[in-house]
């Protein structure tokens, strides 16, 4: 039974709303940013021991970034048969399980599912990943409130078309290509590549390394058709693996091998910016350093970390209630800081303008009205003034 796990945030005209808080008639923003009213919301709940013994209802966890950069934006949980949009096709979540970034949730005492029906099949934006809206494949009766659907259809006089919004892939070479792509993102190296020779001179360069991403190129002149398997290390700890097999136009022009020797890896977990890091990229087989490695990432001062805090992004990814809570917390922290510094009457204009800008950005992105507090604030973009 395809469904979203309780707590999943769906993109709507009001922002990201937990699926259990949606109501019939609410407008979701289906991809690509198309407002569509909810026609019906199916509900189903399971409890132990049924949740312990039936793998067909155990949720699949898709970790943040498992599909692509920022997709999903945070962990997403769906039922095993819920179709996820990957590489232009729909794939049931249980077909994507790799045991690292996409895995089955275990030992749940209670499982609550919700699904959203629109006037036609569409892609819902769930935690910034794309997932299919409800399509009646003969399983409507499994929901606790199936009778509400017929009533909704009579009220709205809708005749849904049950064709999917994208091709469905459940097996075959296309599924294997998708699984291989997701495995590489997870740092899982196929056995066929691991068995190829990796010896000899290592040519290439570590071009970029920060707290989130690592990129560059690597090539084995003695085995020009073999992609290099690389390990990323933070000191002595291995924090990721990647294959240097991405096409590079500059390598093609330079006549280097097949030109498919680039690599780019988004780390599964961002490095702590408050700590010193020694980031290395080495050949997995013998720990030979790639030229340009290691790189030292110095600890960032507290002020710099605060200046890089993306309040607008946080506002876009939060509900209205969370925005209010965030504003209250920020003002409390400002008051504490003012007290520590002995500032008896510190101005709050910077904070107010930052929040106004964030809410204005949120309004433009979502097409929702801006809160009155933001509407009365200056619309001028805040320019942070760094201490000289």
Q: Which two tokens stand for residue 353?
A: 């303008």
Residue 383 has pLDDT above 60, yes or no: no
Contacts made by residues 370-376, CB under 8 angstroms, sequence distance 24+:
371/320, 371/323
Per-residue pLDDT at 109: 85
32-81: pLDDT as tens digits:
889 999 988 888 888 877 777 677 888 999 999 899 888 999 999 999 99
Residue 189 has pLDDT above 80, yes or no: no
Regarding pTM above 0.85, the answer is no
C-alpha–C-alpha distance, residues 235 and 59, integer Å: 36
Per-residue pLDDT at 316: 60
Nearest Cα to Cα of residue 278 among 381, 209, 347, 188: 209
Of the pLDDT bands very low, low, confident and very high (cuts 50, 70, 90), residue 300 is: confident
Grouping H, G, I as helix, E, B as strand and the rest as coil, residue 207 is strand
C-alpha–C-alpha distance, residues 40 and 46, integer Å: 20
Per-residue pLDDT at 98: 87
C-alpha–C-alpha distance, residues 78 and 105, integer Å: 10
Residue 95 has pLDDT above 90, yes or no: yes
| Per-residue burial over 262-289, b = 16 or more CB atoms within 10 Å of its CB, e = otherwise | bbebbbbeebebeeebebbbbbbeeebe
Residue 179 has pLDDT above 80, yes or no: yes
Residue 372 has pLDDT above 50, yes or no: no
Q: Report which DSSP code applies to 172.
A: S
Contact (CB, 8 A) for 125 and 116: no
> Distances in Å between the alpha carbon of 220 and those of 13, 202, 227, 247, 263?
51, 5, 8, 15, 14
Q: In percent, how much of the chain has pLDDT > 70?
A: 73
| Per-residue burial over 1-22, b = 16 or more CB atoms within 10 Å of its CB, e = otherwise | bbbbbbebbbbbbbbbbebeeb
Nearest Cα to Cα of residue 137 among 96, 94, 82: 82
Of the pLDDT bands very low, low, confident and very high (cuts 50, 70, 90), residue 374 is: very low
Per-residue pLDDT at 288: 95
Of the pLDDT bands very low, low, confident and very high (cuts 50, 70, 90), residue 218 is: very high
Nearest Cα to Cα of residue 234 among 180, 278, 285: 278
């Amino acid at each position: 039974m395809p469904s979203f796990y309780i707590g999943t945030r769906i993109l709507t005209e009001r922002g990201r709303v937990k699926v259990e808080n949606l109501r019939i008639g609410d407008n979701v923003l289906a991809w690509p940013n198309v407002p569509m009213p909810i026609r019906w919301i199916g509900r189903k709940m399971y409890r132990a021991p049924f949740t312990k013994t039936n793998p067909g209802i155990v949720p699949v966890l898709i970790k943040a970034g498992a599909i692509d950069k920022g997709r999903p934006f945070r962990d997403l949980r769906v039922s095993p048969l819920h179709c996820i949009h990957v590489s232009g096709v729909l794939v049931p979540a249980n077909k994507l399980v790799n045991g690292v970034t996409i895995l089955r949730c275990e030992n749940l005492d209670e499982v609550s599912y919700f699904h959203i029906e629109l006037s036609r099949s569409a892609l819902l934006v769930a935690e910034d990943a794309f997932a299919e809206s409800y399509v009646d494949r003969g399983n409507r009766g499994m929901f606790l409130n199936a009778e509400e659907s017929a009533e909704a259809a009579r009220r709205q006089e809708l005749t849904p078309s049950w064709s999917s919004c994208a091709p469905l892939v459940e097996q075959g070479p296309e599924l294997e290509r998708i699984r291989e792509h997701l495995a590489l993102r997870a740092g899982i190296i196929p056995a066929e590549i691991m068995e190829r020779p990796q010896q000899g001179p290592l040519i290439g360069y570590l071009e970029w390394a920060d707290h989130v991403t690592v990129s560059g190129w690597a090539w084995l002149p003695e085995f020009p058709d073999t992609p290099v398997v690389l390990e990323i290390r933070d000191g002595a700890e291995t924090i990721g693996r990647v294959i240097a097999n991405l096409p590079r136009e500059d390598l093609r022009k330079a006549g280097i091998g097949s030109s498919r020797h680039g690599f780019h890896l988004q780390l599964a977990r961002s490095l702590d910016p408050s700590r010193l890091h020694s980031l290395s990229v080495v050949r997995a087989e013998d720990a030979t350093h790639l030229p340009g490695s290691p790189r030292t990432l110095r600890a960032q001062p507290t002020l710099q970390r605060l200046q890089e805090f993306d309040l607008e992004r946080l506002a876009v990814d939060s509900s209205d209630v969370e925005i209010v809570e965030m504003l209250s917390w920020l003002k409390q922290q400002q008051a504490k800081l003012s007290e520590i510094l002995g500032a008896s009457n510190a101005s709050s204009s910077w904070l107010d303008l930052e929040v106004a800008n964030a809410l204005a950005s949120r309004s433009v992105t979502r097409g929702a009205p801006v809160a009155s507090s933001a509407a009365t604030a200056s619309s001028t973009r805040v320019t942070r003034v760094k201490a000289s």
